[in-house]
Amino acid sequence: MQIQYINEMLNIPELQVRQIQSMVTEELHIEAIPRSYKQCCSMCKSDQNVIRKGSNGMRIVRHLPVFAKKAFLHVPSIRLFCTNCEVGFGWSYEFVGSKQRYSWLFRSLTVEQALGSTAAHSARLQQLPASTVQRMHNAAVPLECERIEKQVWTEAKEMSNLVLGVDDFAIRKGHTYNTGIHNLKGETMLDLLPGRKLNDLRAYANTHPDFLLLNPKAVVMDLAQAYHTWISECFPRAIRIADRFHVHGYVIDSVQEVRKTVQPMLSPRARAYLKAHHRLLNPPAESLEEESRTRLEMLLTFSPLLRSVWEWKEAFSTWYDCSPSFSVAKLGFERWCEQGERMDHPAVRSTLKTMRNWNIEIVNYHQCRWTNATVEGRHNRIKAFQRRHYFTRNRSRYKAGILIECNRHRMFGG
């Protein structure tokens, strides 16, 4: 292959490839020299009085793979001298840092692989010591997190009709939680704050003025009172929306509670069949395959009450999907509540009490149709991150890692 094509493949404008020194099974060694003859003095910022004073030998720099081989660039370590300032200095290459053995592009690739998995995995891919990859990772994460934070917050402040999502996830389930703030419209995670109690949320708003500068059209949350109180204090004009996933979960739970009361009164065979296939009661009927629909129909024949509650649950899904406007949705929600009241079952009454307490936030979905579905997906990423990093003890590094993990599509200028 001719030298000019290797120049294009390396994509390092400041270098000119001279020759390929060696190419073995796993390694490719390329000799290159700077295209310029001299550089500006670091003191006077001029190259007029700069002269070359020889070389200290060759620097060997690991670069991106070429032809699926490890590529090493051999570049001269040129000595320079400024006769005006009477100072000596070494040649500074843009593609690699001072006294570094790995190019910036190689470091970026290695860190990106480590962010998606672990330092040990990236080290195996690049055939490097894991400690080297970990040092690259530790150096890159704070800078990358700072860049991403600045970018996503600037977008959120400038975005019209901003829609925020607020939800918590467990560090240690039942004990310790974090709360994430998400830009649903921009598909980014804005920030991570410790705790989920009202005092924690208020403290965050007081210490982060940028948060109060946002102007959201709507905020999507679950039915935790602390979130709704906090958002009504920070953004009184924003539409507060109860997340559809969490609201629908209350209705599904009531169906399962009715199933548990019906189950003991059935014959042993019917009881075993209902217990084995009880999860078929949860999803919408239209999403089931033909075989599953047949089994579901069998379950519903066991009890008229179970069928009524299941139809009530299906009507709720239809109300969410098919209400054409906010005013029609309000009427439809009231009719759905009346349908549930006619069943007279403790589990249904408990669910209806919750629904009526939050009826405004639930119906508000039809003013601004957004859910926290993407937030739940990010929670899966966060849980995987926590398992990979064994719940990092350093809070700033833990937060930086999660923000990068959830905004991975914005990494390295992307």
Predicted confidence (pLDDT) at residue 118 exceeds the cutoff of 90: no
Domain that holds residue 227: 155-243+371-413
Q: Give every CB contact of residue 41 below 8 A, 6+ residues apart in sequence.
A: 47, 49, 50, 80, 82, 84, 85, 87, 89
Predicted confidence (pLDDT) at residue 377 exceeds the cutoff of 80: yes
Does the residue 147 lie in any domain? no
As a whole number of angstroms, the distance between CA 399 and CA 409 comes to 17
Predicted confidence (pLDDT) at residue 340 exceeds the cutoff of 80: yes
Task: For residues 258 and 200, state if they share a domain.
Answer: no
pLDDT at 116: 65
Task: For residues 79 and 28, state if they share a domain.
Answer: yes
Task: For residues 70 and 213, state if they share a domain.
Answer: no
pLDDT at 162: 94
Predicted confidence (pLDDT) at residue 401 exceeds the cutoff of 90: no
The number of folded domains in the chain is: 3
Q: Average pLDDT for residues 220-236, to the nearest whole number?
A: 95
Q: What is the pLDDT of residues 342-365, one digit of tens each?
A: 988 999 999 999 999 999 999 999
Task: For residues 236 and 248, state if they share a domain.
Answer: no
% the chain with pLDDT above 90: 60
Q: What is the pLDDT of residues 151-202, one digit of tens each?
A: 999 999 999 999 999 999 988 777 789 999 999 999 999 999 998 999 999 9
Does the residue 137 lie in any domain? no
Task: For residues 163 and 210, state if they share a domain.
Answer: yes
Does the residue 114 lie in any domain? no
Q: What is the pLDDT of residues 269-318, one digit of tens each?
A: 999 999 999 999 999 999 999 999 999 999 999 999 999 999 999 999 99
Task: For residues 249 and 397, state if they share a domain.
Answer: no
Does the residue 135 lie in any domain? no
As a whole number of angstroms, the distance between CA 266 and CA 99 comes to 77
Domain boundary, last residue among 86, 101, 116: 101
Average pLDDT, the chain: 89
DSSP bridge pairs for 219: 164, 240
Does the residue 237 lie in any domain? yes
**Tally of CA atoms within 13 A in the half-sphere of 77 that contains its CB:** 11
